Amino acid sequence: MHKKPVRPVLLVIAHGSRDPRHAATVHALVRRVRSMRPGVRVETGFLDFNIPSVQGVLESLAAEGVRDVVALPLLLTRAFHAKADIPAVLRDAPPQLRIRQAEVLGPSPLLLSALERRLYEAGLTPADKSSTGVVLASAGSTDPEAIAVIAEIAREWRRTGWCAVRPAFASAALPRTEDAVRELRSLGCSRVAVAPYVLAPGFLPDRIARGAAEADVLGDVLGASPEVAQVLLERYDEARVPTLAAVGA
């Protein structure tokens, strides 16, 4: 009998934060991923502030005899961390590990579904869409590619029936959330909602919430939602078997 090939370990790489809500949310998301795919071993490593570190997890896996790892950046855009920080950490991994870096989570239609669900949980209804302007509030980045992706997501989301959708950024780029809220008011949207396009609570999401003071509705962060967990597993599968997408399996 042939032994089934061992699935690569999924290493979820989170940024880390001094805010304890960040790590708690990451761990809740990982628990959901494990429950959705019990046959896959899922580990968590942090780039900063929290333990275990990515390097520490990789060394432990190598010491156990693990060979294949899919490293998945818990990020919504391909900004500095995905392009520089994470590849640098992975280059320093024990040489016996075969590591594939998965794509970041966004953009994905599932994430838009999660954003919309968060707004409905906060009090909107589908009937409110055409009269509601939405601020797509992201953490922000100095990377022009990441900024362009957020703007494109806003355009795409607008086409699903909202009065208007405007991107906003909590740092490194403009406009700020409060300015986007005012712009939507001036456009004549009868209701303004803020949808935080962030994964976990922390310093910048708190800044988004403050910027939403004049909005009618503030959605929760994406957090450990089933949609985020599903996207995470999709990215794992794409990295684990790069030919799957090509053959339509």
Assessment of whether the complete model's pTM goes beyond 0.85: yes
pLDDT value for 82: 77
* DSSP three-state, residue 11: strand
pLDDT score recorded for residue 247: 39
Coil, helix or strand at residue 209: helix
**Sign of the Cα pseudo-torsion (85, 177, 204, 154, in order):** negative
**pLDDT above 60 for 79:** yes
Report pLDDT for 125.
96
Q: Which of 236, 248, 15, 219 is nearest to 113 (CA)?
A: 219
- Rounded to an integer, the average pLDDT of 43-52 is 96
Cα–Cα distance for residue pair 143/147, rounded to 1 Å: 7
Q: Is pLDDT at 40 greater than 90 in this prediction?
A: yes
pLDDT tens-digit map of 160-195: 999 999 999 999 999 999 999 999 999 999 999 999
pLDDT score for 13: 98
Region 35-51: mean pLDDT is 97
Q: Hey, what are 58's tokens? A: 């990789």
Instruction: Supply the pLDDT for residue 84.
Output: 85
pLDDT confidence of residue 166: 98
Distance of CA 220 to the CA centre of its chain: 13
Maximum alpha-carbon separation in the chain: 69
pLDDT at 1: 52
